[in-house]
Every structure is written in C-alpha cells, then in structure tokens.
Amino acid sequence: MRRRLALGLALAAALVAAAARAQPAHRRGFAGAEGWARVFDDPARDQWQKPQQVIEALRLAPDAVVADIGAGTGYFTMRLAQAVPGGRVIAADVEPDMVRYVEQRARQMELANVTAVLASADDPRLPAAVDCVLLANTYHHIGDREAYFRRLAALLKPGATVAIIDHRPESPVGPPRSMRVPEEAVKAEMQRAGYLLSAEHDFLPRQHFLVFRRAAR
Ligand SMILES: C[S@@+](CC[C@H](N)C(=O)[O-])C[C@H]1O[C@@H](n2cnc3c(N)ncnc32)[C@H](O)[C@@H]1O
C-alpha cells in the first residue's frame, strides 16, 4: 500500500515537472538559470546579437555605471563589466535564480564590478544612479511601461541613456509574436514616459535597437 502511494506521488511529481517544461517561457518564468544559459549563452547567438558592436554603440566611458535590466544569465552583463573596468554594472532581474547565477558567474570570471540585484516587476531597485540602462530582450516583459520608465528617470544621471533592444515582429526567434512590441510602439511609449529618441541602430538583423535620453523638464 505504502509502495503504491509512493509510486503514485512520484508519478504525479514527474507529470507536474513535465507540464512545467512544456509551458512556454513567458508562462513558466525564468527559473532554472543553468538551463536558460544553454539558450542565452549559446555561442551561435553572437552572430545575430553582435554583443561587441552593441556595446561599442553604447559609447560607454571606462568608468560608467551601467544597469542591465532583465540581465538573465548575464550575456550582456559580463561583457559590459569588461567594457567598464573602472565602473560598475548593476544586473537587475526579477528571477532570484538569475540573480544567483549572475553573482556566481561574475565571481568565476573575477569581475568584481558586477552587482546583481533582485528587481521587482515595477522597480529595478538599482542601488545607485546610472549613466546607461540596457534592456535587452526585456522591454516586452515590463507591465505598465509608461509608469516604469517615468520612475526610472529618478535613477538616471544627467545625460544618461536608456537602450532598448527587442525582437522585431518578423524575427524568426524571440518571444511569442503576441508579446513583441514593434519599434514604433516603443518610440511612442517612451515619448509618453518623457524620453527623446537619441539614436537608432540598424545593424541587428532580428531586433530593433533604440537609444533614448530623458527629455528636458
Ligand atoms: C529573455 S530574458 C533576456 C536576458 C538577457 N537580457 C539577454 O538578452 O540574454 C528576459 C529576462 O528579464 C527578466 N525580467 C522579466 N521581467 C522583468 C522586470 N520587470 N524587471 C527585471 N527583469 C525582468 C526575466 O527574469 C529574464 O531573466
């Protein structure tokens, strides 16, 4: 009897785990950082994500303070940290397992200028004012974006930039099409939140790459 109960419980647990795995990412969240690292840090991604070209386009001073909001496994965080050896990178994510993973990865790579913080859905909880914010493949996850970016303004140093990279509607990979935010909508939302478009880069084959600054008040 006890053996049958144990078998039943084990089968139920396996079914729950299988159902969780079968759900798309936007439904099951981003726990299981090691698994996501195989996707986000797949070297093949570099071909279309062009991380070094992205970082060059951000024109960061070597002592810049940068926030990587929705840092995930740190694909951009680690590269940014190498680009600002005298500065600091704040990697903010709502998923505790991503925060743990980024802390561990920065330690292993001996990047002492990385700080990982647990964000909430409506607040990146940055511990310091920043010169640049990067949201790579994360903008579409933010809920009330106008309120979010209005609040973020208080954490921007004068002249700071906010760079948004996200998949175009026609990209063959990326979030479900229903979640993608076309670049014209991003521009309109950011304008309503009090930002001006300051650069637009078209070298990424699958994503738009828009850079904003706070409009003068
Ligand atoms: C698709 S991943 C992108 C990861 C990384 N930026 C990259 O390009 O490899 C999106 C990440 O954003 C995080 N995220 C979702 N909503 C967020 C929010 N409101 N604030 C901060 N992070 C968020 C998720 O937990 C996930 O790690």
More confident residue, 52 or 22: 52
Cα(56) to ligand 1 centroid in Å equals 22
Domain count, the chain: 2
Q: Are residues 21 and 56 in the same domain?
A: no
Q: Are residues 75 and 54 in the same domain?
A: yes
pLDDT tens digits, 14-34: 323 333 333 334 445 898 999
Best residue among 27, 45, 93, 209 to mutate for probing ligand 1, ranked by most atoms within 8 Å of CB: 93
The residue-averaged pLDDT of 149-174 equals: 97
* CATH number reported for the structural domain that contains residue 49 in this entry: 3.40.50.150
Q: Are residues 187 and 87 in the same domain?
A: yes
For residue 28, what pLDDT is reported? Answer: 53
Q: Are residues 120 and 157 in the same domain?
A: yes
Cα(10) to ligand 1 centroid in Å equals 32
Q: Are residues 1 and 90 in the same domain?
A: no
Q: Are residues 42 and 84 in the same domain?
A: yes
Q: Are residues 10 and 62 in the same domain?
A: no
The Cα-based distances of 177 to 15, 167, 168, 169 in angstroms read 28, 9, 9, 6
φ/ψ of 158, rounded to 5, equals: -55, 135
Band (pLDDT 50/70/90 cuts) for residue 216 is confident
Q: Can you give the residue range of the structural domain that contains 10?
A: 1-28
Cβ < 6 A, ligand 1 pocket:
30, 40, 69-72, 75-76, 92-95, 98, 119, 121, 124, 136-138, 141-142
Q: Are residues 11 and 47 in the same domain?
A: no
Band (pLDDT 50/70/90 cuts) for residue 184 is very high
For residue 217, what pLDDT is reported? Answer: 67
Considering only 26-35, 97-106, 120-129, 196-205, which range has the smallest mean pLDDT? 26-35
Cβ–Cβ < 8 Å for 111, 87: no
Q: Are residues 7 and 110 in the same domain?
A: no
Q: Are residues 19 and 111 in the same domain?
A: no
